[in-house]
Structure 1
Amino acid sequence: MKNHAPTYLKHHFLIAMPHMADPNFAHTLTYIVEHTANGAMGLVINRPMDLSLADILEQLRPDTASAPLCQHVPIYGGGPVMVDRGFVLHPVGMSFDATVELQDGLALSTSADVLFSIADGRGPRRSLICLGYAGWDAGQLEAELADNAWLTCPYSAHVLFETSSELRLDAAAKHLGVNLNLLSTQAGHS
């Protein structure tokens, strides 16, 4: 009998199936930052909040007027855990106080200096800013996958940075040749 190593989904997208009942994840596309035997961590990348970078900077440095450009930088609801904590996905090339290089030229920064550099026009040319993250305990994501709650898809910089947020979910599904609108909301029930 062969011992199969588990498949981890670090650096993949999770596509919520149409029947996803959890309101935190219904109709979401999530980028998986980390996935090990101990659990998983991801960022929902298609849920813009009613906030801009200007709103966040006002909290971080209330004494400084923010650049008008900040009004147009959207903030995404990255997930239900630590919703006051910021996570910025951006191409490798610039390093901030807390930056980790992921894969395929993608990096994650979690320190405020990345936000200030974006606001000042000196930051990464492409970025996606999330508040909060999605977390799964050991075995939880695997169980949800076995339950057909998610489709998985390889990471795509095009989907992350060049596709508008309302089209990201369908664009990722299209990579798999799947039209989410044609999937039954009763998947798994015959």
Structure 2
Amino acid sequence: MSSNDSPSRPPGFLGGKLLIASPGIGDPRFDRSVILMCDHSAEHAMGIVLNKQVEGLRLPEVFEQLGVETTDETIDRPVLLGGPVERQRGFVLHTNDFQTVDSTLAVTDHIGLSSTKDALDAMASSTPPRRSMLALGYAGWGSGQLEDELAANAWLVADADETLVFSDDIDGKWENALGTLGVTPEHLSGASGTA
């Protein structure tokens, strides 16, 4: 297993890493965001925002709307706002104890991404993935866009930690993610505007 906990990827690409928004990101959609990068290549990048919620929407309501059969053990948690692209589309981040052969993307050695009803059925079952969460939408970048944002110091990059990714402390994820780098928000705000 590699130290970055990611499947084999070309060097320079950030699939399986966390993007942590810097205070001066300049885009209110991503203010204080923590994004798990699910796919990154020379042509595009795609990730799921881990710390924004769809207001007033919880998993049981989604399951009911989609006709997903639930059990007494079905989890009740918020639904994440995964990003501004395709907000009507659902994405399930889950531990690798669940996967479908043709539709699960290995994000890290321990985390997968699926966007099929099978993943929702598994989440609602009596034997769900060890950890999972549903996000509506995703964050996406075209060729070179993410690299430009990284060059402008809009994002910090950290290793993806399963505990942080699936933490129920949604509001605390940004500060907790910074903490994995040994940084506090005060350090960043004090350093902004300097060259």
How far off its partner does 1:189 sit?
A: 5.2
Question: How many angstroms apart in 2 are the aligned matches of 1:159 and 1:71?
Answer: 18
Greater displacement, 117-126 / 33-42:
117-126
Q: How large is the Cα RMSD of the aligned pairs? A: 2.3
Could you list the runs of 5+ residues in structure 2 that have no partner in the other structure? Answer: 1-9
Q: How does 1:2-151 map to 2 (within 5 A)?
A: 7-50=12-55, 51-61=57-67, 66-67=70-71, 72-96=76-100, 98-151=103-156
Letter in 2 for 1:80: P
Letter in 1 for 2:110: G
Question: How many angstroms apart in 2 are the aligned matches of 1:124 and 1:74?
Answer: 17
Q: Secondary structure at 1:132's aligned position in 2?
A: strand
Kept in 1, the 8 Å contact 2:69–2:125? The answer is no
Q: Deviations over 1:37-92 (max 9, x none)?
A: 0020000001122211122122212xx77556657222100000010111111111
The corresponding residue for 1:165 is 170
Kept in 2, the 8 Å contact 1:15–1:153? The answer is yes
Structure-2 change in CA distance of 1:185 and 1:139 (3 Å): farther
Kept in 1, the 8 Å contact 2:19–2:158? The answer is yes
Q: Deviations over 1:87-133 (max 9, x none)?
A: 11111122237222232211111101211221233221211211000
Which consecutive segments of 4 or more residues in structure 1 shift more than 3 A? 64-71
Could you list the runs of 5+ residues in structure 1 that have no partner in the other structure? Answer: none
- Check if 1:156 corresponds to 2:161: yes
Kept in 2, the 8 Å contact 1:52–1:73? The answer is yes
Question: TM-score, normalization: structure 1?
Answer: 0.87
Letter in 2 for 1:127: S
- Check if 1:174 corresponds to 2:182: no
Greater displacement, 37-46 / 94-103:
94-103
Identity of aligned residues (%): 38
How far off its partner does 1:184 sit?
A: 2.1
Q: Secondary structure at 1:104's aligned position in 2?
A: coil
Question: How many angstroms apart in 2 are the aligned matches of 1:66 and 1:92?
Answer: 21
Structure-2 change in CA distance of 1:37 and 1:188 (3 Å): farther
Question: TM-score, normalization: structure 2?
Answer: 0.85
